[in-house]
Chain A
Amino acid sequence: MTLLALERPLRLALRYLLIGLIGGLLALMTTQIALRYGFNASLLWAEEVCRYLLIWIAFLAVVLAFERGEIAALGFLGALLPRRPALALAMFCTLLSIGLSLLLVWYGWRFAQMAGGAAIPALGFILRDIFGAAAPPTPGTFWVYAALPVGMGLLALRLIADLVLCFRTIAAGGTVADIIGDRTGGSHQ
């Protein structure tokens, strides 16, 4: 129950975070053009920061893209099958996706720990610009690479919820279409 109570604020937070990230990306890129074209100057770190923003956007929004049906899949086999086998097939596919997501959470976390030790060069530039010689230690690329396990983790949670939904739907006599309807219905809150 507590999880469900948390879901709404989490969703809202994720929504505003993503809007902020896209807005930040647009602002940074246009600043860079204006600086170079108008003032013959450049933010040396802008290109790198833009790339890292894109990585976080891509992985954080995966779960929402999935809910909104924007992750392309072929549905014809499920459509050909009768109700129960179609649901079983959907559950099997969901299980496979959960497996892959969890695998990527595990290896993604390990990778972030193993390769995330180096300081983020762009942040180094920014911190030196602000603090000069007294700059605090620069955060590591761990904070970039963590996007993948975080994003795949959120997706895994959502897929597990889907699996539970499939079980309930079988019991309640519903069809795959009910779940997909639920899914898109969920995105418009």
Chain B
Amino acid sequence: MTLYLAIFALCMILGVPIAFSLGLASVAYLFAYDQWQLMIGFPQKMIAGIDNFVLLTIPFFILAGNLMNSADLTRQIVRFAQMLVGRVRGGLAVVNVVASMMFSGISGAATSEASAIGSVMIPAMVRDGYKAAYAAALTAAGSILGSLVPPSLSLILYGVLTGTSIADLFLAGILPAFLICGLLIGYALWRARVEDHPMPQPVPREERLGLAMRAIPALLLPVIIVGGIRSGAFTPTEAAAVAALYALIIGGLLYRTLSPGKIGQAFYDTATMTAGVMLIVAMASMTSFILGIENIPRSIAAQLVSVSDNPWVLILLLNLVLLVLGLFLEPLAALVLAMPILNEVFPLLGLDPVQFGVMVVLNLMIGLITPPVGLCLFIVSAISRAPLERVSLAILPMIGICLFVLLMVAAVPSLSLLLPQILNR
């Protein structure tokens, strides 16, 4: 196993794409341990890793995001957020966080949220005199809301892998998301006072009604999705297709900003972005096969349990393992890899499976904004042209906020379970 990790880390540091680093480490492992006959299983595991109905949510949520973006919806949402909350010192930073919260009801993944909000908010903040690294970091931190508020790819995948109610998981993610949102706003306001951030321009009065009319239909999407799932109209996986269809309809018919050319481009972009995610999932499937035959998940779980049988210690240790996984891996791949360990340890924790799901997903999302491999960090750093190291530094306090909320989710069951309980009555 050490060999596997060493090759993986080495390839990654050299600059081999992460997906290929996983694959090369698998090949090296099979070669070194005289298991070359298993090489024929490599393509099988890659295909099987993708051959999963739930993963269809990936192209559809990406498509919904792309269509909303081509329909110029992100800009509308940002303007709408500015109209609602922009009249304070450092208002644009607050707008960034609030727009992330609004957009999280449309996007299924943190990464699509980072690029959508980032492409509008970061240039606007930089133009107003904010440091690029700060604007980028705030966008990245806000983007993890995308995976906590329904629709959420990671929550769906967790629900299906563990057989937990996805409708409940969706509701359970909402309060923690609001908590993160509130704390990030508080932080932004504090920074604004200390660093004397500017007051933004007000949205002209005559623009306001039109803005609300255009933004509100889009903001209804999470309601449609949760409502549709709970009423049994469609399954959580199908909800992703509904989201894409909804985006197509409001962009094409309501706003009339979508042309056939733009739709075609959005479909095409969706295909390539899907391939980028799927390649990592495919390669990670081979890794989890190797881990499986070596019984690694069981032995990690056994080691965790051997440290202590106190559920609290176990929860902390488990979070630590997940955070480390999240440091290097994309959340879906990490979820696939971690699932056997989670299955072994979960019964000992005495947690509700829904609460546990929110905790696991939030944990992996934090991995998206922590160096070295934080996909959201990469995205915002590319958009802002601020060096990755600067953004990494700027985001540290925000990671602290997220870790605090993670602890709260683990310690306070009602933070996640309150909404599902109320709505199940």
A residues at B contact (CB < 8 Å)? 15, 18-19, 21-23, 25-26, 29-30, 32-33, 37, 47, 50-52, 54-55, 57-62, 64-66, 68, 70-78, 89-90, 92-93, 96-97, 99-100, 103-104, 107-108, 110-112, 114-115, 144-145, 147-149
Contacts and interface: CB of A to CB of B under 8 A. Distances in A.
B274 A19 contact: no
5 contacts: A25-B60, A33-B238, A65-B276, A72-B375, A111-B44
A189 B345 CA distance: 51
Contact of A33 (B24, B51, B242, B270): B242
Given A26-B60, A65-B272, A111-B40, 17 more contacts: A15-B268, A25-B59, A26-B241, A51-B51, A51-B56, A54-B56, A54-B274, A60-B271, A64-B271, A65-B279, A71-B19, A71-B276, A75-B15, A96-B11, A96-B24, A104-B42, A145-B43
Nearest to A53: B56
B245 interface: yes
B60 A77 contact: no
A54 B59 contact: yes
Nearest to A149: B43
Contacts of A92: 14
B3 interface: no
Interface of B: 11-20, 23-24, 27, 39-40, 42-44, 46-47, 50-53, 55-56, 59-60, 63, 233-234, 238, 241-242, 244-245, 264, 267-268, 270-276, 278-280, 282, 330, 372-373, 375, 378, 388
Given A21-B271, A72-B373, A55 B238 contact: no
Given A22-B59, A54-B50, A65-B272, A107 B43 contact: yes
B383 to A, nearest CB: 13
Contacts of B234: 33, 37
Nearest to B45: A111
A64 B43 CA distance: 20
Contact of A19 (B271, B278, B282, B330): B271
A57 B277 CA distance: 12
Contacts of A33: 233-234, 238, 241-242
A111 B14 CA distance: 31
A92 B16 CA distance: 9
Nearest to B264: A19
Contacts of A70: 272-273, 275-276
Contact of B14 (A93, A99, A108): A93
Contacts of A75: 15
Contact of B278 (A30, A47, A58): A58
A97 B16 contact: yes
In the complex, which of the residues A15, A65, A92 has the most CB atoms of chain B within 10 Å of its own CB atom? A65
Contacts of A114: 40
B114 to A, nearest CB: 13
A172 to B, nearest CB: 21
Given A25-B59, A58-B274, A71 B279 contact: yes
A75 B377 CA distance: 13
A19 to B, nearest CB: 4
A55 B279 CA distance: 10
Contacts of B372: 74
B276 A29 contact: no
Contacts of B272: 18, 61, 64-65, 68, 70
Contacts of B20: 96-97, 100
Given A29-B60, A58-B50, A72-B375, A100 B27 contact: yes
